[in-house]
Amino acid sequence: MLALSSSLLCAARNPLEGMLRGLDTRAQENQRRELQAAVTQNPAEGSAWMELVQFSYQNDEPEQTLEILTKAIAAVPRPAVFWRFAAQVHLDDANSGPTGLQRPGVYRNRKTPSKLDEKSFAREKLQSALEALDRCIALEGEFTQEASKRRIHVLMGLERWGDAEAQAASLLRTKWNGEDAALQAFSVLQQGRKEECKALVKAGLEKDPRSSDLHAVMVRLHESLGENEQAAREKEICEFYRHLMPDSKLLHSERAAASMGRLFGKKEGTGDRLNDQIKAEIEALAARHDEESSELLATLAASHFAHGELENRAFAVLGERRNEARIRRILAQARSNCTIAGCLNQMIPLKMEGTFELLRDMLERDGGMFPMGIVAKMERLGDPRAGLVLRDYSNNKEASFFQEALVALGAFDSPETRAHLQKWQKDKEGGPYATTGLYRITADPKLLKQISKALSKMDAWEAMAITNALEDSKNPEVAKVMKAFTERIAREDAAKKAKEAKK
Q: pLDDT for 194-239, tens place per residue?
A: 999 999 999 999 999 999 999 999 999 999 999 999 999 999 999 9
In the prediction, which pLDDT does 443 show? Answer: 94
Tens digits of per-residue pLDDT, 266-300? 766 555 566 678 999 999 999 999 999 999 999 99
pTM, two decimal places: 0.77
What is the average pLDDT score of the chain? 91
Tens digits of per-residue pLDDT, 116-137? 999 999 999 999 999 999 999 9
In the prediction, which pLDDT does 27 show? Answer: 84
pLDDT band at 442 (very low <50, low <70, confident <90, very high): very high
- Ranking 204-218, 363-377, 406-420, 480-494 by mean pLDDT, the lowest is 363-377
- Ranking 88-92, 152-156, 244-248 by mean pLDDT, the lowest is 244-248
- The yes-or-no verdict on residue 1 having pLDDT over 70 is no
d(CA 503, CA 377): 45
Task: Select the more confidently predicted residue: 16 or 392.
Answer: 392
- The yes-or-no verdict on residue 359 having pLDDT over 80 is yes
d(CA 360, CA 355): 9
Q: How many CA atoms does the CB half-sphere of 40 hold within 13 Å? A: 6
Q: What is the dihedral of CA 168, 171, 172, 177, to 10 degrees?
A: -90
Q: What is the CA radius of gyration of the chain?
A: 28
DSSP alpha helix (H) spans, 109-250: 118-138, 144-157, 161-174, 178-190, 194-207, 212-224, 228-243
Other C-beta atoms closer than 10 Å to the C-beta of 14 total 15
- The yes-or-no verdict on residue 22 having pLDDT over 50 is no
d(CA 172, CA 182): 11
Determine what percent of the chain is predicted with pLDDT higher than 90: 82
Q: Mean pLDDT, to the nearest integer, of 262-268?
A: 78
Determine what percent of the chain is predicted with pLDDT higher than 70: 93
